[in-house]
Structure 1
Amino acid sequence: MAGEQVSQLKRKVMLAGAKPFWEEQLKRLFVKESWEFFTAAADVEPIREMLRIYNIPVIIYVWPAERQATERLDALQRLADILALGYEYGIESVYFVSTAAAVKSEDAARAADGMGMVAEEAVLAWSKWALIPVTIIRLPEVYGPDSGPGDGLVARTLYASLKNIALPRMDDETSPRDFLYSADAVYGIYRAVARQCQGKILNLGTGKGLAAGDFASWMKNVTELPSIDEGTARFQSFPYVQPVLETRTAQQELGWRLKYGRLEGLKQTWDYIQAKVEADNLAAHSQAKRVKWRQWRDRLIPYVENALGAALMTGIAYLQHGTTINPQTQLDVNFVYIGTMGLLYGKRHSFIAMAASTLIFVGAALARGGELVSLIYVPENILHVTAYLFTAALTGYFADARRFEREAVAWQKQQADERQAFMRGLYEDNLAVKDKLYRQIVNSDDSIGRLYRIIKRLDSVEPENIFNQAAAVTAEILNVEHIAIYVVGTDGHYLRQKIRMGDLASRQPRSLRVADYAYLQDLLQEQTIFVNRELVKDTPDLAAPIVHQGTVIAVLAIYGMSFEQWSLYEQNLLSITTRLISASMARAYRYEQEVQEKRFVAGTRILQADEFRKIIRELQERRKLQGDLPVAVLKVDMAGMDYEKLDARLGRMIRNEDFVGVGNDGVYILLPEADGNVTAMVQARLANADVRTHVCEAVG
C-alpha cells in the first residue's frame, strides 16, 4: 500500500519526437529523481492509450537534429499529432527541444534549419490557441557517450578518424559552431521541466563557438590522430556554421551551469567510441568466422554422413559374417543406406553411397572366399549391383525433383514479385497522371485553389510589400501585363504613381490631378469600378479603388487589355481582388498603428534601423517587379541636430512616398522615382530648412 502511494506521488513525463542518442541518459536522470518516464511509441494510437491511462501532464518533444527533408516533414506531422493528443487529454505543458540551427544568424540570409524555425513558430502558435504553455529549449550540437557514427559532427569525425576513412569537410573555416556535452544538455532539460519553467525560450550551450581550425585542434588534442587535420582525405562538404546562442536566460531561470569542460567531455566520448568500435570489430570478426565455419560445415556434413553410413554398413556386414543381407529379413541393408543418402542429398550422394555399397558387397564376398573374376560372371551379383544403381538413381531423382520444385516455386515467386512491381509501377504512373490532371484542374484560371495560392501573397503587414504584391497578384489573376497603382494624396487632389508594371503603365504620368480626369472624380466619389467603354484616350481600360475606412487610398489601373477580357467576369475578378487588397491594407495599417513606437524613433517619423532595412528590401523587390525604379539616397549631416530637430525641420520638405530612416552610420532619406533634377531640387529645399545632405550610392 505504501508503495502504491509513493508511485502515485511520482511526477510523470513523456519523451516524444526524434530518438536522440542521449535518450537513455535523460531517462536515467528523471528516474533517479523519482519521475515516471515514458517514451512515445511510433504510432499514434499507443500514444493515445498512454496519455489516456497514465494521465501524463508533461511532454518533451525532440526535434531531429539532422536536416533530412523527409525526416523533417515526418517530424512536422508527428509534432501535429502529438500536440493534438496533448490538447485532447489535457496536458499541462510542452517542452520543445529545438536546435540552434533553427535561429537565423545576423550575417545569414536564412536559418540553416528552416523547417526547425517553422516548427518553433507552429508550437508557439499552438500554445496561444490551446492556452497550454510551451517552453522552447534550443541545443547546439550535442556530443557524448552512446553517440553513433551519424550523431553529429563530433561523432562522425571521431568514428571516421578511428576507422581511418575520409573526414567531413567544413564549408566555412572561420565562423563558429557550438558543441555541448550530453550530460550538460540532459541536465538542462531536466532542470527546465523540474522547475516548471514555462513560456520561455532557453538556449543551452557553452556560449563560445569553435571555428573549423579550432575544432580540428580540439579533436587532435584528445585523439592524437594525424588524420584529423589532413586536407587531402576529405569528402562531401556541409555547412559548418551555426549560430552561437547566449545562455544567460537559461542560467538565470534554471540555475544551470556547465559541469563538463570540452576536453573532459571529448575524452569521455572518445573512450566510449573507441570501446564501441573495438567491440563492433570483434563482433564483426566473430560473425565472419561463424559464417565461414557454417558454410564449411554445410558443405562437409553430407560427406561426413555418407562416410559414417559406409562405415556403419561395413560394420553390419562384418557382424553378419561377411554378408550385407540380413539372414532374418533377407534385406540388404545397403539399400537403406543408398536410399537415405539419395532422399536427403540427391543423386550425387546417392551415387557415392552406391559406389561405397558396391565396394562393401564385393569386399564381403571376397572375405567369404570368393574370387573377383568369378563374382563378375555370377548373374545374381550383377543384378544386385544393378539394384544398387537403380535405387541410387530413383531416390536421387526424387530428391532432385523436390529441389527443382522448390527452385521453381522460388523462381515463380520472383516472377510474381517482378510482375507485382511492374503492376505497381503502372499504378504509380497512373496515379502520377491522375495527380497531374488534378493539379491542372486545380490550377486552372478560375479554380479556388489557384486563386487562394495567388492571393495568399497579400498576407502581409507591411504596406510597401502589399503594394508590390497587389500589382503582381492582379496581373496573375486577370492575366494582364500593364498595371499602375496610384496613391491618393493627403489632400485628395492629386494621385502619385506608387508602382507600375509593363510598358504602357511606364508611359503614364507619375502624378495625376483629380480635377483633370472625370473618371477619377467618379471613382473617388462612388468607389466603384470604372470601365472605359467609350475608349477615351489616356484613360485606363479598367480602374478600381482600394478603400480603407470608407476612403479611397489608392487606385489600381489596368491598360492594354485584349478584347476577350472586356467582360463582366473580368470586372468581378478585379472587384474581388481589390477588396482583398483593401482588407490586407487595412490589416497592415492597424498593425502599423499598433507598432508605431517600435517602427519609429520616439517622437518622430524617422524609421528605426530594422524597419528602414525592410523598406529598402521592399524597394528592391519593387525594382525587380517593374524593371526600373530610380531611387535617390541622401545622407543627412546630423551635426548640431538630434532626431527630434531633424524631424521638425523636415516637416513638409519631403513627399509622403519618401522615407527617412536610421542606417548603420547615420540618417538617410530615400527618394523613390527621383532623377538627378528632382534630387537636386529636394536638396535645395532641405538646405533652406537648414538640413544639409549629400548624395550616396547606397545606404551604409
Structure 2
Amino acid sequence: MKVLVTGGYGFIGSHVAERFHQEGYDVIIIDNLTTGKKENVSFKHNSYILSIEDSKCEEIFRSHKIDVAVHLAAQVSVANSVTDPTYDAESNIVGLVNILNLAAKYDVKKFLYASSAAVYGLQTKLPITEQMECAPISPYGISKLSGELYCEKWGELYGLETLGFRFSNVYGPRQDGLGEGGVISIFMNRLLTEQPLIVLGDGEQTRDFIYVEDVAFAIYRGANSTQTGVYNLSVNKQTSVNRIIEVMDAIQPITEVIYKEKRVGDIDHSVLDNQKLMHDLDWSPLYTIEEGLSKTASYFMKERAELQAVVKPAVSPKRIKARQVFDKILPTLENVVAFGLIAWLTLIYPNSGSGMIDLKLFYITIIGMMHGSRQAMTAVVLSTGLFIYQKLEGGRDFISLTYDTDFFFQLAIYLFVGLVVGYTIERKNTTIKQQEYKVDELNNRYEFLDSVYTDVRDVKNELQTRILNAGDSYGKIYAATKELESLEPEHVFNSAVSVVKSIMQVEKVKIYIVNPHETYLRLIASSGYDLFELPKSLKVSEHEYVNTTIKSGQIYINGSLQDDVPLMVAPLFYNDKVTAIISIDGLSFESFSMYHQNLFRITTELISSALSKAFTHITATESQRYFENSMIMKPQVFNEIVASKKKMFEEYNVPYLLLNAERYDLSNSDTADYLSTKLRETDYLGLDEEGNLLVLLSNTSMEDREKIVNRLTHDSMIFTALTEE
C-alpha cells in the first residue's frame, strides 16, 4: 500500500513517514523544505520538492495509486500567522484544499490531517473535550478550524473518509522552535550551548506535552481504522514548565534560569481530553515526560556533536561583499581602460580620424557590444570629450565649434552608433534572459516529470521482480499446467482444486459440474469445507451467481460481499459450453484485487484447456473405456477413478461410497439401462478384476448409504457397501 505524507521532511511528518515505512507502506513525500530537512528521512521513498498549493501535485496523484494521504504540511507558527495572515491562509487553507480535492478525485481511501488545540481558544474548563465550543483567537487557529470544516464537507460531498487530530504540545527529536511544543527544543538548544533558560512567567503554567512517536503511532492507527471526524491527540496530563526544567536538569545541569514577564494573552493551563481517541482507536500514549525528554536530549546531543565534527570552510562576508562590488564596477573599469588606450592612440596619431577608421567609433561599437547601452552612452560621452579636445588642440575655439555643422554631424554619428549598438545588445541580452528563463522553467518541469517517470518505472520494475519471485509466479503457473496434464477428467478436477489453492493462496475451493440441461449442478470436488457444509447439488434458478456465471460465461465477482456467495466464481468450458463452475472463498482482503481476478481467470482457462483435452480423449477412446452397449466401465479405467477418489479423501477429506451390486440374471446392458436413471452425473459404474459390479458414488458418506441403497433397489440386484472413505 502507498501513503502520501505532505510535509514529510518536517518534525512530525518525518516521524509519521518513518512509522508507515516500518509497517510496510511505500512512502511518498511532498515538501517545499521551508522548515523541513531531507536528511530527516533516510529510508527509500519517493520525494517531490513542491509546495502543496502547486498544480504539479496532481501529477503525483495521477502517477501513484495512493491509498492513504496524511496531510501535515502547514504554517505552524501562531506568531507568524498574526504578522502574515495571508501566507498562513495560503498554506493552511488553500494548500489543504488542493490536496483534499486531489485525494477525492483520485479515490484515496483515507485522508488524515493535522489540526491543533489552537481551535479551542481560551478555555477555562479543563480538560478540553472535542464537544466544547471552538473559538480560536489567532489566524492560525482560524485556519486550522477552517481546514476541519473543509474536510468534513468533502466527506459529505464526495464520500472521502477524513480523520483529523487536534494536536496538543508535540515535542521530540528533529524539532525546531516553532509550534506549540517548540519551548522544549528551544530549551534543549540553550541547555547544550550552556546558555540560561528564559521562562516567560513564573514557570507554573502547564501544557499537555506529547512525544512525537506517540503522535505518529496514533496517525498510523487512524489510517487503518474506519473512524472519521476529529479527535484530540494528547496524553491528557498537565506538565508545568518548571517540571520540564527539573527533568532537563537531571539530564544535564542547567547553568541558569531567568524568569521574565509573561506575554500578554498567554493562557496559564491547557490539557486535552484523549478518552475518545483511546476508546475508538485502541491507542494510548507510551512515553512519559521523563522518557520523552531523555530521548529528545539524546538526539540533540548527537546532532550537536555531528555539527561540531564537520569542518566548515570559512568565507569572510567582507570578501564576498568586495567581490560583489568588483563585479559591479568591472564594466566601468574596462570602459575607462579602453578609452585610455583609444585616447593615447588618437593623440599620438592625430590624423587617424581623417582616415578610413575612426578609432572612437570603433571604441563605442566594441564597448556597446560588450556591455550594452549604459556603457555605450558612457563611451559616447568620453568620445565626444576627446573629439572636442582634439578640435581645441587643433586651433579651433569653442564658440566656433557651435556653428560647425561637421562637428555636430560627427557627434550625431557617435550618439547614433552608441544608441543603435547599445539598444541592439540590450534587446539581445533581454531576449537571451527570457529564453534562459523559459529553458529553466522547461528544465524544471522536465526534471519533475522525469522524476515521476523514474518513480513509476521503479514501481514497474519492482512489480515485475515480485511477480517473477513470488509464489504465484510464471514458474508456479507452469508447474500447475504440468499438474493438470491428465487424460482423465476426474484427475483434472482433483488437480484443479490443488492448483487453484496454490496459485490463489486460498483455503476454500469447490467445483460443481453442470448437467446437460443446465438446470442443476453436482458437486465433483472441494477442499477446505466441513463434511456437511456444502450442498451436494444446486438448482441453477435458485442461485443468481450460478445462473449469471453459466449464462454470461464470465467470471463472477462478489464485489458487494454477499453472504453465502463465493468471492469469485469462474466457468469451465468444453466445446464452447459451460461444463462446470469453480469457486473460491477465503481470499484475503488485500488480495481481492484486479490482479488476482486476472490471475484466477488465467488459472481457470488452463483448467478448461486440460478438461477439454481429457473429454476429447474420452470421446475418442469410448470403446476402450466401456463394455459394449453399456455405461459400465472396464476394470482398469474404473480402478483409476476409485484411486482418484481415495486421493481426494486423503488430501481434502472429500467422501465417497463404493457399493457392490450382486446381480441375478441381469445382463450388462439391462443393468446399465436401469442404473442410468438412478445415478447422478458424478457417479460411476464399473467392474473389478473379479468381474464384480461396483457403484462409485461421489461426495457420499456412510450416513447416506441406506437412502442410496433404497433408491437403487431392484428385484434382481442387492447392494452392499464395500468401504466408505
| TM-score normalized with structure 2 length | 0.37
